[in-house]
Amino acid sequence: MPNYNTKLKKRSLTKIAINKFLKQLSTPQTNAIVIDAETFLSSSALVSGGVDPRNIVVINNNDSIIKNAHKKGHTKSIVGISTTVFMEFLPTSPLYDIIYLDFCGIPDTRGDGWCPQYDILWCATFLKKGGTMVVTFSKRISNCAEKIEKMIPYHLLTEVKHRDYCETSPMIFYILTNDDDTNHVNHLRHKFNHIYTTYTEELKAATTLSLLNKKITSDKNNSNSNSSISLKRSFTSTIKNKLNKFEKIKNILEKKNGAVPLSDIYKETDISKASVRQVLQKYSHNSKYYGTKYPNIFTNISKGYWQLTSQVKSRKPIYTVIV
């Protein structure tokens, strides 16, 4: 677990999305293992999701980091290289619901004893049924993906998603589960995609607002000030409306907990009919207009009836949306 730029990791869009994802999977009964840094971003996300700090094992080869982990209540945390910890120290009971192997190195065995293939196999063996594992690697070698694919025991794990990203160097992450049920795998994938997409939009909005604030400050003493303020208000209103429309429709479907006629959605919201249809189609993978560009949050189960995708039981997909 070599050193890395902690500031860049704290700002990493992908890292933030992964931690938000793991937080949403957390419950007070969760048992977890995380390779965490001195910032404790991942273990803190789990705690904020309701996990008892005592049930989070933090692994790091820096003694001071593990001492701080103990102070934070992660009393089962162990200092050492992950492979050594798994081989010699970490008990095999209980099974774990969440495991986050936040590796910084390339997918190769190192001279100091670190063997990522062993780590992944150990974790796959002691992952609770339906559990989730996230693994990250540096892509500083050309055949990185090929090596990772050979390391993953696909007789024990199913891939949910993988994605390239960049921090201090090109990286790649894999989300894995030991439940090969299609609904479960799709649920995890859609959950992460929704978190990533939503956070990206919020970040873009915040960045734009920051630029507008700077423009207002620079225009403060000239005639452009009023137009800049007006632009900011208009932009802020647009962003809020976009987020509110999605949340309002999602809340209606959550409360109904079943198939909802489009006419009922119209009645229970102040959003225009055209906007309701646009939001439903945008976040539906059986929409002929948007395809799979956005997370699959809503499903058109029959003519004029919609339901949250997470509530839809296994059924044949519908590919034509009629509203």
What is the domain-level CATH number for residue 144? 3.40.50.150
Q: Which residues pair with 96 in a beta bridge?
A: 127
164 lies in the same domain as 199: no
Going from the C-alpha of 232 to that of each of 229, 236, 241, 246, the distances in angstroms are: 5, 6, 14, 22
CB 138 within 8 Å of CB 171? yes
Q: Tell me the pLDDT of the chain (323 aa) as tens digits.
A: 444 555 556 668 899 999 999 999 999 999 999 999 999 999 999 999 999 999 999 999 999 999 999 999 999 999 999 999 999 988 877 899 999 999 999 999 999 999 999 999 999 999 999 999 999 999 988 899 999 999 999 999 999 999 998 877 899 999 999 999 999 999 999 899 888 887 776 666 655 555 556 655 665 555 555 555 555 555 555 555 555 788 888 888 888 888 899 999 998 888 888 888 888 888 888 777 777 777 788 888 888 899 988 877 644 443 333 33
* Integer Rg of the chain from CA: 23
- The model's pLDDT over 182-198, given as tens digits with 9 standing for 90+, comes to 999 999 998 998 888 87
CA atoms within 13 A on the CB side of 42: 26
- Dist. CA 134–CA 146, nearest whole Å: 17
Is 320 domain-assigned? no
21 lies in the same domain as 124: yes
278 lies in the same domain as 299: yes
- Dist. CA 57–CA 306, nearest whole Å: 42
163 lies in the same domain as 197: no
32 lies in the same domain as 150: yes
User: Residue 290: what pLDDT?
Assistant: 76
Is 318 domain-assigned? no
Separation of first and last alpha carbons in the chain: 53
On whether the pTM is more than 0.85, the answer is: no
Among 54, 65, 59, which Cα is nearest to 104's?
59
- The model's pLDDT over 84-136, given as tens digits with 9 standing for 90+, comes to 999 998 887 789 999 999 999 999 999 999 999 999 999 999 999 999 999 99
14 lies in the same domain as 163: yes
151 lies in the same domain as 198: no
197 lies in the same domain as 158: no
User: Residue 175: what pLDDT?
Assistant: 98
Is 294 domain-assigned? yes
Domain range for residue 288? Answer: 192-311
**C-alpha torsion sign, points 199, 201, 202, 206:** positive
Is 186 domain-assigned? no
204 lies in the same domain as 139: no
Domain's final residue, options 158, 180, 202:
180
Count Cβ atoms below 10 Å from residue 106 Cβ, excluding itself: 17
Domain's final residue, options 180, 212, 243:
180
224 lies in the same domain as 294: yes
Going from the C-alpha of 9 to that of each of 125, 193, 260, 278, the distances in angstroms are: 29, 20, 42, 36
CB 24 within 8 Å of CB 191? yes
Q: Using the 8-state DSSP alphabet, how is residue 118 labeled?
A: H
Number of domains in the chain: 2
Is 185 domain-assigned? no
127 lies in the same domain as 158: yes
153 lies in the same domain as 220: no
Among 209, 243, 244, which Cα is nearest to 229's?
209
Is 120 domain-assigned? yes
- Dist. CA 29–CA 52, nearest whole Å: 8
Domain's final residue, options 132, 150, 180:
180
**C-alpha torsion sign, points 189, 204, 3, 25:** negative
User: Residue 208: what pLDDT?
Assistant: 59
Is 213 domain-assigned? yes
User: Residue 120: what pLDDT?
Assistant: 97
User: Residue 292: what pLDDT?
Assistant: 74
Going from the C-alpha of 74 to that of each of 53, 126, 145, 174, 188, the distances in angstroms are: 5, 19, 33, 25, 26
